[in-house]
Amino acid sequence: MPATNEGARNHLESITGILSPEEIALRLGAKHQPSKPRVPGASLTDPGVVGKRWALLPDAAGAKAEVADAVSLERHALFAHNIENFIGTVKIPVGLAGPLRVNGITAQGDYYVPLATTEAALVASYHRGASVITLAGGCTTMVLSEGVGRAPAYAFHSLLEAGNFVQWCVVNTEKIRAAAEATTRFGKLKDVRFTIEGNHVYMLLDYTTGDAAGQNMVTLATAAVGAFIAESCPVKPRYFFVEGNMSGDKKASAQSFQSVRGKKVAAEVRLSRKLVERHLHTTPEKMADYWRMSALGGVLSGTLGVQGHYANGLAALFIACGQDAACVAEAAVGVTRFEVGGEGELYAAVTLPNLIVGTVGGGTRLPSQQACLNVLGLAGAGHARALAEVCAALALAGELSIIAALSAGQFARAHERLARGKKSGA
């Protein structure tokens, strides 16, 4: 968005201060003096190499004991497949929200949900929503669809070549599937779609990935597809890439919002008027009024979906349970809906189409993260769909709590009390 003339002038004055044009040019120009030493060791994690990395940071020597603590160094080999240039670990507070009663196809029972965050009031908010859901008998959850995509992209000399390439791929879909699935025991190529833009072809490969989140799995499978096509297809592209930025990976996109990326999950609950008034300190009508106004606000601001703060709970759960935290960019997209029912109760529902979660592989193997999955009872194979249902239930709990606080005028007060720790009379 372009800035106004006055806004640009005020901004430049605020950041340049009393610097002269010559001083600004000197600061912003390229500098070719020798750089500091490169960080050594790449994927090596042994304490000797860690010590060499910390030797690059003499001004941060006092921080070493907090990051490269004895436990982290003792367990250094466990991190070798999850980090490069390892210097230690950071500690994030973990709180429990719950119990959260989930009545899902795969997730069944009362869950204490571990949430890793530095934001005060977050766990308290999700805890309140979880408690109310449990008092209502739990929320219903269901995985509606699954699929993780990669979108290799091919460039040709002409539209005719692009069309002939797609025609060959359609005829040879089973061979493409075999090439992809030869790279994995658990991944399955469920669909192949094409988008042609001039002489470019985007090939959308949709996979199921078992209990893994699946990004690495589908990347390796798609690389195998590319190798097979390069060897077998008579229509040779000028060049191609394993990902053409059309899969929606780690970004909010209309495509995945309308279909699925990861797991598409819905959760719903009905709260009696008495529960709402007693435990959320508001009314179903006020919550529905707030939702209606906030839905229009979301439309007016151009958001993908309409929801309050899925990202808060999902980020905290992802970090605690070893999920790829960057996937919150796409996972925190969806729709929240509130209605007042025929008997004056509150009906609340959330639908999240982009939950990229897994219970095997990646960060789930690390000690603290596996421990948090064990807190949920969802570590290891066979639990990915249940974890996705718990994620949706948690998002629902957070929506109930934040919208109750906003509709009751308690939102700012709660943050002042919990985040600032302000004492009465202070």
Kindly list the catalytic residues.
Answer: 119, 324, 415
Compute and round to an integer the Cα radius of gyration of the chain: 25
- Residue 41 backbone class (left: φ over 0; alpha: ψ -120 to 50; beta: rest): left
Query: By the 8 A CB rule, do 153 and 246 touch?
Result: yes
Tokens of 211: 């209990």
- Residues 248, 320, 316, 416, Cα dihedral to 10°: -160
Query: By the 8 A CB rule, do 314 and 237 touch?
Result: no
Question: Rounded distance, CA 208 to CA 240, Å?
Answer: 24
Helices 122-135 and 384-407 cross at an angle (nearest 10°) of 100
Tokens of 152: 């290799």
Beta bridge partners of 111: 100
Q: How far is CA 408 from CA 95, 120, 285, 292, 400, in A?
A: 25, 20, 11, 15, 12
Residue 410, helix vs strand vs coil? coil
Residue type, 111: Y
Question: Rounded distance, CA 351 to CA 87, Å?
Answer: 39
Query: By the 8 A CB rule, do 389 and 143 touch?
Result: yes
Question: Rounded distance, CA 137 to CA 283, Å?
Answer: 19
Phi, psi values for residue 73, rounded to 5°: -70, -35
b/e string for 27-62 if b means 16 or more Cβ within 10 A?
Answer: eeeeeeeeeeeeeebeebbeeebbeebbeeeeeeee
Least Cα distance to 341 among 273, 268, 267, 266 occurs for 273
- Residue 202 backbone class (left: φ over 0; alpha: ψ -120 to 50; beta: rest): beta
Burial of 120 (0-12, 13-18, 19+ CB in 10 A): middle
